[in-house]
């Protein structure tokens, strides 16, 4: 049986290319476990750059996905892609045209505006710094200042969730729940409406912790991944969450993005 060649996708942008790359990966995951090879061509600014891109894509029978906001460059890329019979996908053009028509005004046609150093950007930076400072219960004062507080046992994605939500401009503190360590009083003095408990299936947690031990070069028999120990931790965490009276989300089979989406929806609807 002949193996399928891995498709090559060239993401072209007159800025950094982050938007196109994110969209391509979001689409490509729908074909898992089949893979795609993504190449980023960023900061395109002239015909010469587009000609080189066309040559590479033609040589590899690749697909060109582009987010060009400068009309002259966009039109030239489309013209050349059609001429060389290349599959090409314009991500921003139809959206910009629709908005221009609806708003009855032309767009700025200015690359890189998504990265402007505006108030939102600085809020994001502040939120990321907050998440780092108050990660894993380093300073319990973060519980008082946070927009969202995450609690749960080790390996329930508290840190990845904190960082993901920080990039959405939420100040997040997270506190590990460990039977041998008294939970901070701050958890019981702040409003439980800003606390989220993270619950996980014991078998799933055992698998995650076993993999973690393997990565660290430690034996699978370590207490960290012991089934009895895991059950003790989870029962303890459940008791603390009930005492707090907080909302609880089961993260057993959820990606970080999915759990974060639920948390943001919960935050908006509080």
Please report, in range form, the residues annotated as the binding site for ADP: 152-159
Dihedral angle over CA of 40, 44, 48, 52, nearest 10 = 10
Largest CA distance in the chain: 69
Q: What is the 3-state secondary structure (H, E, C) of 92-149?
A: CHHHHHHHHHHHCCCCCCCCCHHHCCCHHHHHHHHHHHHHHHCHHHCCCHHHHHCCEE
Binding positions: 152-159
């Amino acid at each position: 049986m002949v193996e399928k060649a891995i498709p090559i996708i060239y993401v072209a942008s007159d800025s950094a290319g982050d938007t196109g790359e994110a969209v391509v990966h979001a689409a490509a995951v729908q074909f898992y476990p089949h893979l795609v090879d993504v190449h980023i061509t960023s900061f395109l600014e002239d015909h010469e750059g587009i000609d080189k891109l066309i040559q590479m894509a033609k040589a590899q029978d690749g697909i060109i996905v582009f987010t060009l906001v400068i009309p002259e460059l966009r039109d030239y890329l489309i013209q050349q892609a059609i001429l060389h019979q290349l599959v090409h996908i314009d991500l921003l053009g139809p959206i910009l045209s629709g908005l221009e028509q609806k708003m009855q005004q032309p767009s700025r046609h200015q690359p890189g505006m998504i990265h402007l150093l505006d108030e939102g950007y600085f809020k994001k930076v502040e939120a990321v710094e907050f998440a780092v400072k108050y990660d894993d219960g380093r300073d319990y004062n973060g519980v008082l200042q946070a927009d969202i507080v995450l609690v749960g046992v080790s390996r329930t994605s508290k840190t990845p969730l904190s960082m993901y939500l920080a990039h959405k401009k939420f100040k997040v503190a997270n506190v590990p729940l460990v039977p041998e360590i008294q939970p901070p009083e701050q958890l019981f003095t702040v409003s439980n409406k800003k606390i989220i408990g993270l619950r996980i299936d014991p078998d799933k947690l055992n698998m995650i912790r076993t993999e973690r031990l393997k990565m660290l070069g430690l034996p699978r028999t370590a207490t960290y991944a012991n089934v009895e120990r895991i059950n003790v931790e989870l029962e303890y965490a459940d008791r603390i969450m009930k005492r707090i009276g907080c909302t609880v989300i089961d993260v057993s089979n959820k990606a970080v993005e999915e759990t974060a989406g639920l948390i943001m929806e919960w935050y908006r609807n509080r």
